[in-house]
Structure 1
Amino acid sequence: MDFFDAINKRASYREEFDGAGISKADLEEIVEAGIKAPSGYNHQTTSFIIVTNTEVKSKLAELVPTKAMKTAAAVIIPVSSYWEANNGLSFEIEDYAASVENIMLAIVAKGYAGVWVDGQMKLGHTGDKIAELIHLEDGLTARAVIPVGRPVKDVPQKEKKSFGERAKFIE
C-alpha cells in the first residue's frame, strides 16, 4: 500500500474483529515500524510487548472492556522507560507517540485495523494493573494497548478539518 493511502485510510477501529489470527511475520513487521520511529537523542525509550496468548488477551479485555479488546487477534503494548539528558530534556512521551503512529500506519498498510487506547490506561490505575499482568519490569511504564485484527465493519476515517483551517504558509 502506498504511504499516503495508509495515511488516508488510517482510522481508529473500536468494533469487533473477525477472529482470524495474524501471522507472527506480520506482527513483527508492524512492530518493526514502531521500532524504527525517531526518538530524542536516539535513546529509544519505547519497547513493545506483543500479546497473542488467549488467556492474557482475555485478562487484558477485562481491564479494558471494549469490543476491539475482546476480539483482537493480538494486542500490542508499547512500554517506555524514563530517560533524561544532561540538559534536563526528556522525550519519553514523544518517542512513544512517534512509535505508536508508525505502528498504526503499518497496521493499515498490512490490511488490518486497530485502535490506540491510551486514555483508559490513566483511569483506575489500569496501566499499573496491565504492567502487573504482563510482569513488566520496574522502570517501565505500560503506555497504551493497541488491539489489532481484521475488521468486520468498514473503517471510515473521521472527517478532518480542511488544510486551510489547520495549516498556513508564511511566505
Structure 2
Amino acid sequence: MDVFEAIEKRYSYRGPFKDVPVPREHLRKIVEAGIRAPSGKNAQTTSFVIVDDPQLIQRIASLFENKPVCITAKAMIVCVTDPRPVMGNVSFHIEDCAAAVENMLLAITALGYATVWIDGALRYNRIAERIGEMLGVPAELQVRVLLPIGIPAEPGQQREKLPFEKRAWFNRWGATQ
C-alpha cells in the first residue's frame, strides 16, 4: 500500500479487535515510522513504550470505562514526551508527538491493523500519570498518546471529510481562484 492509499484508508477504530496477535516485527516497524517523524530542532522529544503483555494491556484497559478498543487490544503503543524547552523557552513536544503518531497511524493502516488516537481521555483521573507509573516512565516525562492496536473485528471506514474547496485555498484565505 502506498502512502496515499494509507491516508485514504486510515480511520479511527473504536470497536473490538480479533483475537490475533500483532507480531513484534510489525510493532517495531510501526514505531520506527514514528521515530522517523520530524521534530522541532531535531530534539526527538517523543519516546515509545510498546506494550504486548496481555496482563499489562488489561491493567491499562481497566483505567478506561468500557472501551472495547482497549479491552481487546493485542498491543498498545504509549507515546511519551519530554516537555523540556528546545529553543529558548519553547517546547515542541506536543507537535513532535503528533508528527510521530501520524506516521504510526499510516504504518498501522498500511500493515492491515487499526487503532484510535487516544489523547484527551488520558487527561482525566490521572490516567496518563497512572499509565506512566505502571510502565516506569520517569516523572519528568509525560504519557501523551495511547494507540491500541489490532485487527478490527468490525468493518470501519474513514469519516467524511470536508472537500478541499472548504478547507484549502491558493494564495489567499477563501479565494475561489
Instruction: Look up the match of 1:135.
Output: 136
Q: Is 1:98 matched with 2:99? A: yes
Alpha-carbon distance, 1:19 to partner: 1.1
Alpha-carbon distance, 1:137 to partner: 1.4
The percentage of counterpart residues that share the same residue type is 42
Gaps of at least 5 residues in structure 2 are 173-177
Instruction: Look up the match of 2:51.
Output: 51
Deviations 1:18-63 (A, max 9, x none): 0100111000000100000000000000000000111110010101
SS of 2:62's equivalent?
helix
Could you tell me which amino acid in structure 2 is paired with residue 163 of structure 1?
F
CA-based RMSD of the aligned residues comes to 1.1
Alpha-carbon distance, 1:154 to partner: 1.3
Alpha-carbon distance between aligned partners in 2 of 1:21 and 1:40, rounded to the nearest angstrom: 34
Alpha-carbon distance, 1:12 to partner: 0.4
Q: Is 1:5 matched with 2:5? A: yes
Could you tell me which amino acid in structure 1 is paired with residue 62 of structure 2?
E
Could you tell me which amino acid in structure 2 is paired with residue 154 of structure 1?
P
Indicate if the aligned counterparts of 2:13 and 2:114 stay in contact, CA closer than 8 A.
Answer: yes
Alpha-carbon distance between aligned partners in 1 of 2:26 and 2:49, rounded to the nearest angstrom: 15
Q: Is 1:22 matched with 2:11? A: no
Indicate if the aligned counterparts of 2:86 and 2:92 stay in contact, CA closer than 8 A.
Answer: no
Q: 1:43 to 1:20 in 2, by over 3 A?
A: same
Deviations 1:76-122 (A, max 9, x none): 00001122135222101100110001111100000100011001101
Alpha-carbon distance, 1:132 to partner: 1.1
TM-score when normalising by structure 2: 0.94
Alpha-carbon distance between aligned partners in 2 of 1:70 and 1:95, rounded to the nearest angstrom: 28
The number of equivalent residue pairs is: 171
TM-score when normalising by structure 1: 0.97
Alpha-carbon distance between aligned partners in 2 of 1:57 and 1:89, rounded to the nearest angstrom: 34
Alpha-carbon distance between aligned partners in 2 of 1:77 and 1:85, rounded to the nearest angstrom: 22
Instruction: Look up the match of 2:84.
Output: 83
Alpha-carbon distance between aligned partners in 2 of 1:31 and 1:153, rounded to the nearest angstrom: 25
